[in-house]
Structure 1
Amino acid sequence: MTEASPLLIPGESAREQASYWFAHRAQIASDQATRQRFEQWRGADAEHDAAYAELEALWNNRAFEQALQSLEVDLGLPPAPVQRSWRRPMRQYLATAAAVLLMLGAGWMADVPMRLQAEHLTAIAQVEHLELADGSHIVLGSNSAISTTFDGQSRHIRLLRGDLYIEAFHDAARPLIIDTGEARVTVVGTRFSVSKRDKQVTVAVREGRVRFANNAGDNNLLLAGNWQQLKAGHLQPAHQEGGERQMAWINGRLSFQDAPLADVLSELRRYYPAPILLFNSTAATQRVSGNYQLDEPLAIVQALSKVTATQVTRLPGGTLVVR
């Protein structure tokens, strides 16, 4: 039976999905159904096509030959026949490892464009406390970035990525606006968090009231304890409780309830310094719950692997492969 396409797995980046297809390129060439799914994935988004083309270009660089041979030793794989050319089709597990190396060579952590936009930016697992010009206090989460524009008439914060918790200074004449690109959050004075994951935005309120609106003008008023998400440009139904779980990162914890494994691993990538790759479409949708300390993300992945009956392989450089 052919394994399902990562197109159906939520929470995977274009580069991770490209690595999946690159590792299965022999199957793409030999199986029509797999080839059709691959072509559908590659044509669905220009970012998909660019990510895969990047891997193809890097694969033609002979500098990876030695890296692959070293990786075989590190993983304890059986020695390959002397006659084998590194360019010939490789075994499935080695192809997967090659794809990981290619992703790393492609600049997995490249961050220059974000640094050009951001006024404040945090690294993986770094949390920063800031005081803004108006007296508002901010906690900027792991791998997050913001820019600010404050003047005599307005207060604007642009959340470029990641997590932001703010204790907004009360100023009735200048409402504070948090802009994520996909949504706007407007307040006068309150305590709340905003999280941005690609085009998905989550707002949770600890104290006061928050106006959450999308670009189409749809909006909702959230009260203390409430939380709400925006997905694909649409506001989802608001939750009347559970807002504190969305802000668990402020206390260095990851809290989730009945969430798909793929979503949890996607969140853990924000705290782990190397890629976490999921190559198990069945486990990806398996629901899990937990409350963990974020200072040991590897231990969280290992604990989740026991719950979901998956296997975790730690590659050189720290990359985790879950399958």
Structure 2
Amino acid sequence: MIKVGIVGGTGYTGVELLRILVQHPKVRLKVITSRQESGMGVDELFPSLRGQVALKFSDPAQADLSQCDLVFFATPNGVAMQQTKKLLDVGVKVIDLAADFRIKDVAEWEKWYGMQHASPELVAEAVYGLPEVNREKIRQARLIANPGCYPTAVQLGFLPLIEAGIVDVDHLVADTKSGVSGAGRKAEVHTLFAEAADNFKSYGVPGHRHLPEIRQGLGARSQKPVGLTFVPHLTPMIRGIHATLYARLLKETDLQALYEERYIDEPFVDVLPAGSHPQTRSVRGSNFCRIAVHRPQGGDMVVVLSVTDNLVKGAAGQAVQNMNIMYGLPETMGIKHVPLLP
């Protein structure tokens, strides 16, 4: 059994991680921390876990994480980088669901996240946890930087085109939409029901902190910097990401075959039949990314549609997928949930 600790178990990604891990046959939950809810039973805060989790939240200042084999950080940006080195030094592996170790250029990270990095020496070691790209590195890793929700959907959508070298990488466009849970469980005016319901808006157009992460990932596959216009939107739904991706085609290619061949062995990437239009509800509560590729009117523009659940493949599910790979378990163990409908 893998003895697991969770730092920050009260946010949406934290409770999603709990939902998945309590059903995992090879996991034993040891510690779940929360400064604000210390001493409260996990199932008191989250009745959905009643009968599944007997633990109480621990104060992170007092919790003994060294008893764990693996610790997940489901915390705000800037927390994991303060504690990871100490854990690694005593042999505990770490998966960070925040952004502390995703961007290799530390100065770039500090610019976008507005703080000084506390463990720059670990950034180079951290493996970016996108299994469809870094599976072999993940197997050997002790520190995983779990990808962001938008970056997962966007990169998986663009990767076959980028790797094949058949599109203009200087002028890529990612038009993306996310449910309100992507903003986290904290109270903010823009995610209040009266603000977000019956509404649709873009945000972060001048620059969003997921932009350098996506550029880094796509640039590594194209072996040159990419030009990307990335525009996120907030939609009046709880879960889900829909990424509509645009690229100009440079070479004649059977796009459907390209995508099917690229992802034929990927358990959580589902390439839909030609002409399909994936819906966010088709992945709700699951670790799947569903993709459809189009070439409107047979022109030179490729349009890729990529949908995920931002809390699962975009966060907690992908983190558990990485854990399975790290420990040599079947990659789908504990995370092959059928999507919820309706």
TM-score of the pair, normalised by structure 1: 0.25
Relative contact order higher in (CA < 8 Å, ≥ 6 apart): 2
Q: Between Structure 1 and Structure 2, which shows a larger proportion of strand residues?
A: 1
